Amino acid sequence: MTDLLLDVVVEYAEPGFSEAIDQLVKSGKVGPKATPLARSGVGVGVRTGAPKPEIGTPEAMKRTLLKAKSVTYAEDGASRVFVEKMEERLGVASDVKAKTMLTHGSGAATANVADGKSDLVLTLASEILPVHGIELVGPLPESLQGYINFAAGIAVRTKNAEAAKGVIQFLTGPAAGQVYKAKGMEAR
């Protein structure tokens, strides 16, 4: 699939379009029009069968973080920036830091919860749903949420632009939207 470039884009504010795609366009690697595909927000996961904490409001999220014996997330994950920003906004960063287990990759973080080593995992909802042994409690409250955006662009040097356009059309169609939703993402 060298004719189709998929790009994972981190947005720190209101989701817009991406600096990464813009850089690929400016460098001449991607055509002038990139297409948003989906986005995934940060979610909270617990061990399967554990009580699901209340996380629907900023105050509930704050109480849940303070009550948890341990919290885990990936130190190198795209969602870390959003998690730490949330902790700062809630005024619990120093309290939570002492009980945070940072891991290399979200797989190790979700495994910490599945194995009972940590109470909560904070990572993209799309990284929680497929993991056996943990359950998605839900997304962060909207006022605390951050999103990772996925976009597609067609390589300028493609030999089959029509096929690449067809793939993008498929990835933005109604069937793809249902799959994104089932995987913890929102179609864009």
Please list, in sequence order, all residues whose beta carbon lies within 8 angstroms of the beta carbon of residue 93, skipping any fewer than 6 positions away.
Answer: 84, 87
Among 144, 161, 178, residue at a domain's last position: 144
Residues 125 and 167 in one domain: no
Residues 63 and 107 in one domain: yes
147: number of Cβ within 10 Å: 25
Residues 134 and 70 in one domain: yes
Residues 58 and 88 in one domain: yes
Residues 77 and 122 in one domain: yes
Residues 54 and 104 in one domain: yes
Q: In whole angstroms, give the CA distance from residue 151 to residue 173.
A: 14
DSSP 99: T
pLDDT for 27:
85
Residues 32 and 45 in one domain: no
Instruction: Please measure the distance between the N-terminal and C-terminal CA atoms of the chain and give it in whole angstroms.
Output: 22
Residues 139 and 164 in one domain: no
Domain encompassing residue 105: 41-144
Q: Which residues face 9 on adjacent strands?
A: 149
CA neighbor of 151 nearest in space, from 4, 7, 3, 5: 7
47: number of Cβ within 10 Å: 19
Residues 111 and 155 in one domain: no
Span 24-33, pLDDT tens digits = 778 888 888 7
Residues 135 and 153 in one domain: no
Q: In whole angstroms, give the CA distance from residue 112 to residue 72.
A: 7
Residues 88 and 169 in one domain: no
Residues 89 and 59 in one domain: yes
> Which domain CATH number covers 51?
3.40.190.10
What is the torsional sign of CA 77, 81, 83, 88? positive
Structural domain tally of the chain? 2
Span 59-84, pLDDT tens digits = 999 999 999 999 999 999 889 999 99
Name the residue with tokens 């990759």: 105
Q: Which residue has the higher pLDDT, 27 or 90?
A: 90
